Amino acid sequence: MSEALHMLRDAIEATGGLISDEGHLVPKGDPEWADLADAYLEACKELGVKPMIDDNERCARVKEKLVNNNCGLSDELVEHFGLDAMERFVEALLNDDEEED
């Protein structure tokens, strides 16, 4: 099983990992195959490795989420705290909002 997970991960990463398409993560090599992105993310989770997501795409997704939720985000904040930290902050912020509803 582990070998199959590694092969799936390697295949997606060989074609550029994932990108965001209209708010959904899709394989850069084949944006039409969204289910493959889900399988890749699950494989990475099972393997305990960070998925390859284009940083420009990740940054755009973080900013889009903040804008959609009436928050602000400056490039200086991303630069100072790092994209990973800002992404975790946004996810935590959005999860807190969902729990309050």
CA distances from 65 to 7, 43, 56 (A): 32, 25, 14
Contact 18, 54 (CB under 8 A): yes
| pLDDT score of 45 | 93
Provide the token pair at 27.
């394989």
Contact 19, 38 (CB under 8 A): no
| pLDDT score of 101 | 45
CA distances from 80 to 11, 17, 66, 71, 73 (A): 33, 25, 17, 18, 12
Q: Render pLDDT for 83-100 as a digit per residue (tens, 0 to 9).
A: 777 777 777 766 654 454
From the DSSP assignment, how many helices (H) and strands (E) are in the chain? 5, 2
Judge whether residue 65 has pLDDT over 80: no
Q: How many CB atoms lie within 10 A of CB 60?
A: 14
Q: Render pLDDT for 8-57 as a digit per residue (tens, 0 to 9).
A: 999 999 999 998 777 788 999 988 888 999 999 999 999 999 899 876 66
Contact 32, 24 (CB under 8 A): no
- What are the boundaries of each domain within the chain? 2-53, 56-100
